[in-house]
């Protein structure tokens, strides 16, 4: 019964949103809350802004998109600031069609859908409230009732600009129903809804031969001509085209570049002049944002056509590339899996990460900078530290190619291959090797992959496989360490004692004999060599560690195992190196003895409890690592 209670509460909330009053009453609301008269573009911008904006390292992240769009922060910032913000301020950008251009499954449709659903939700809030002339099929802005010669005075009094003219239908209604008394015209609050065709519309062109402009601008209602006597009587016209119904909000124009020219010119008139032509009437004003989306090939074909030259300057093109961050690509897969019927299948840790590494590699362009290979570039883009590179290098790499991310493997392909592997083998658990194998098997069936690309992609699969080999070995070796954190802490404390003595030119005291000893150079180097610290660089590295410890002490913070990323990595690698032989013997023994069996069971238990594996994937991992170590 809980769902029925929720339905009832929703119905009550909908009732609570209803408001009706005269134009005079509406002006009182406007005096208190001028934002109710905002334009469609301003409403969309404020909707995004009100959801929250985070600024980090000079870049903005919009919470409005965070649960659905991953890894496109730069593209979204450009979209919001260069288009929505500028349009909200009534700059000339407002007079352009917004065209999202990018590869298939890159997020264009998701962005538009989020804007539409967001507008519907936002119109239910006080900040996003929308009011319209009651009974108007186009839910017209009540301020259109104010005569042109009084609009300057209205702006002086209310601080609100009025754009657009009263529609033919409401002009007739004003005279016939209200006797010209503007203040008596009824106004109501509306809630935007695509399902109810209020303020949100979608137009998808059909076959060019059967396309009818009436789908956009409405049509004559021939059944009423006998009653009203003329085709130019607005009462004999159905204002039910997508441009009519999307007034006050947003209209998505699907496959815009495939449309007949007459459709495009209507859109350009609407965006450029704020009006469009319908039937035998004067121009009809409309306030709505037009957004379309297309892929790069279609766009290039469009601009190559000389007939479309006049349209080029009236369209704002916003590139929406593929995501280029491995961690964000993982989130895309997690989201898609949750939405599918394979959500209950156990996917072993790192399986999606390895798939993401392959996918992102296919999207990157080969850098011309020295020392930058595809894998280093991938790690830098994902925010990982790579020796010899800094944040400035990452920015330079991003500027090297303006069209990076506009081609490569799309997320749907990877999810399809994961699904294929699960269904074909009827697996209850799937690991990184299963995923890579399935991706490889599917390359030959992918219609848009050329032979050259296929060869490159096979190399990327090998690269991803090598990354997995390293991750798998570390995972098992880490699980083999009994009381891992304690072992790591003990080793680090020992290292720090020696580093401090080395830098201060002191001696250490043996805890058992009490005699003085020189710092243990062999121990320090055995740890530092794990992360490639050379003999010449060891002094600087050790001094840096001491400076970090001192900085922590000044702030009253304790320097621990996780306080220095590179030192932590070195400690881990040293522990793993010491354990390698133990792991190798234990995982490769066909008939383990009691002690080895106990170790294996302990490792499996730790992999399950602490690392997210299930019994199947944990056993698979152990067998695989055993085979790697025995090669």
- pLDDT, one tens digit per residue, over 186-201 is 999 999 999 999 999 9
Q: What is the pLDDT, as a whole number, of residue 41?
A: 95
- Model confidence pTM above 0.95: no
Most confident of 145-149, 213-217, 392-396, 551-555: 145-149
592: which residues sit within 8 A by CB, 6+ positions away?
586, 600
Determine the average pLDDT of the residues in 526-553.
Answer: 91
Q: What tens digit of pLDDT does each residue of 454-474 get?
A: 899 999 999 999 999 999 988
435: which residues sit within 8 A by CB, 6+ positions away?
351, 352, 354, 355, 414, 417, 418, 421
Q: Please indicate whether residue 275 or residue 4 has the higher confidence score (pLDDT).
A: 4
Give dist(CA 184, CA 177) in Å, integer.
10
Instruction: Return mean pLDDT, the chain.
Output: 87
Q: What is the pLDDT, as a whole number, of residue 370?
A: 84
Tokens of 178: 């209200």
Q: Please indicate whether residue 577 or residue 363 has the higher confidence score (pLDDT).
A: 363
* Cβ-based neighbour number of residue 414 at 10 Å: 24
The residue whose two tokens read 């909000």 is 249
Is the pLDDT at 538 greater than 70, yes or no?
Answer: yes
Give dist(CA 121, CA 370) in Å, integer.
50
Give dist(CA 417, CA 510) in Å, integer.
59
DSSP state of 58: T
* Cβ-based neighbour number of residue 618 at 10 Å: 25
DSSP state of 266: H
Q: What is the pLDDT, as a whole number, of residue 575?
A: 80
* Residue 212 phi, psi (nearest 5): -120, 125
Most confident of 351-355, 502-506, 566-570: 351-355
* Residue 381 phi, psi (nearest 5): -60, -30
Is the pLDDT at 447 greater than 90, yes or no?
Answer: no
Determine the average pLDDT of the residues in 595-616.
Answer: 85
Q: Please indicate whether residue 216 or residue 112 has the higher confidence score (pLDDT).
A: 112
Is the pLDDT at 441 greater than 80, yes or no?
Answer: yes
Is the pLDDT at 346 greater than 70, yes or no?
Answer: yes
Tokens of 195: 């399902």
Determine the average pLDDT of the residues in 351-364.
Answer: 95
* Residue 356 phi, psi (nearest 5): -65, -40
Is the pLDDT at 529 greater than 80, yes or no?
Answer: yes
Give dist(CA 586, CA 604) in Å, integer.
12
Tokens of 476: 């098992």
Q: What is the pLDDT, as a whole number, of residue 1?
A: 62
Q: What is the pLDDT, as a whole number, of residue 409?
A: 92
Determine the average pLDDT of the residues in 367-383.
Answer: 89
> H-type helices in 142-207, by residue range?
151-158, 168-178
At 484, the pLDDT band (50, 70, 90 cuts) reads low
Q: What is the pLDDT, as a whole number, of residue 589?
A: 67
The proportion of the chain whose per-residue pLDDT surpasses 70, expressed as a percent, equals 95
Q: What tens digit of pLDDT does each residue of 264-313 get?
A: 777 777 888 888 877 778 788 889 999 998 888 888 888 888 777 777 77
Is the pLDDT at 483 greater than 60, yes or no?
Answer: no
Is the pLDDT at 425 greater than 70, yes or no?
Answer: no
Is the pLDDT at 28 greater than 70, yes or no?
Answer: yes
């Amino acid at each position: 019964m809980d769902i029925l209670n929720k339905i009832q509460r929703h119905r009550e909330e909908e009732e609570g949103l209803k408001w009706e009053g005269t134009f005079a009453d509406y002006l009182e609301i406007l005096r208190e809350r001028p934002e109710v008269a905002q334009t469609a573009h301003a409403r969309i911008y404020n909707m995004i802004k009100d959801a929250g904006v985070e600024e980090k390292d000079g870049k903005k992240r919009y919470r409005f998109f965070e649960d659905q769009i991953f890894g496109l922060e730069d593209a979204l910032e450009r979209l919001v600031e260069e288009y929505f913000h500028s349009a909200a301020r009534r700059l000339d950008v407002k007079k352009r069609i917004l065209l999202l251009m990018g590869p298939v499954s890159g997020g264009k449709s998701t962005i538009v859908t989020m804007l539409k659903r967001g507008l519907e939700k936002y119109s239910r809030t006080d900040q996003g409230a929308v009011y319209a002339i009651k009974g108007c099929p186009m839910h017209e802005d009540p301020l259109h009732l104010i005569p042109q010669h009084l609009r300057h005075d209205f702006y002086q009094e209310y601080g609100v600009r009025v754009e657009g003219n009263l529609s033919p239908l409401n002009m007739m209604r004003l005279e016939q129903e209200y006797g010209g008394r503007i203040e008596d015209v009824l106004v109501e609050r509306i809630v935007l809804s695509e399902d109810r065709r209020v303020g949100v519309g979608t137009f998808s062109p059909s076959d060019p031969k059967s396309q009818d402009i009436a789908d956009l601008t409405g049509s004559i209602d021939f059944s009423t001509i006998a009653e009203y006597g003329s085709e130019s009587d607005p009462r004999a016209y159905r204002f039910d085209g997508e441009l009519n119904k999307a007034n006050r909000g947003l209209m998505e124009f699907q496959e815009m570049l495939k449309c007949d020219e007459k459709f495009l010119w209507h859109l350009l008139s609407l965006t450029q002049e704020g009006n469009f032509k319908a039937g035998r009437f004067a121009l009809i004003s409309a306030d709505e944002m037009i957004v379309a989306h297309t892929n790069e090939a279609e766009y290039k074909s469009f601009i190559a056509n000389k007939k479309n030259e006049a349209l080029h300057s009236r369209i704002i093109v916003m590139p929406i590339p593929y995501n280029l961050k491995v961690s964000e690509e993982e989130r895309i897969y997690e989201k898609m899996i949750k939405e599918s019927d394979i959500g209950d299948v156990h996917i072993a840790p790192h399986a999606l990460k390895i798939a993401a590494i392959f996918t992102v590699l296919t999207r990157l362009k080969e850098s011309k900078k020295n020392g930058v290979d595809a894998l280093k570039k991938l790690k830098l883009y994902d925010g990982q530290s790579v020796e010899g590179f800094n944040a400035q290098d990452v920015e330079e790499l991003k500027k090297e190619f303006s069209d990076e991310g506009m081609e490569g493997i799309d997320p749907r392909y990877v999810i399809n291959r994961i699904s294929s592997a699960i269904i074909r083998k009827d697996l209850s658990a799937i690991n990184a090797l299963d995923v890579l194998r399935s991706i490889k098997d599917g390359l030959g069936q992918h219609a848009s992959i050329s032979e050259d690309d296929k060869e490159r992609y096979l190399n990327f699969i090998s690269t991803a496989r090598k990354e997995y080999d390293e991750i798998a070995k570390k995972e098992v070796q880490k699980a083999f360490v009994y009381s891992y954190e304690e072992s790591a802490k003990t080793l680090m404390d020992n290292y720090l004692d020696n580093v401090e003595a080395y830098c201060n030119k002191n001696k250490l005291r043996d805890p058992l004999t009490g005699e003085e000893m020189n710092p243990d150079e062999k121990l320090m180097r055995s740890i530092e060599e794990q992360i490639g610290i050379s003999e010449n660089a060891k002094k600087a590295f050790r001094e840096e560690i001491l400076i970090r410890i001192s900085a922590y002490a000044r702030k009253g913070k304790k320097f621990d195992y996780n306080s220095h990323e590179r030192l932590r990595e070195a400690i881990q690698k040293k522990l793993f190196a010491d354990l390698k032989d133990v792991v190798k013997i234990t995982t490769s023994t066909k008939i383990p003895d009691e002690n080895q069996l106990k170790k294996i069971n302990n490792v499996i238990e730790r992999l399950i409890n602490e690392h997210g594996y299930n019994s199947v994937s944990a056993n698979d991992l152990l067998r695989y690592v055993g085979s790697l170590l025995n090669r």
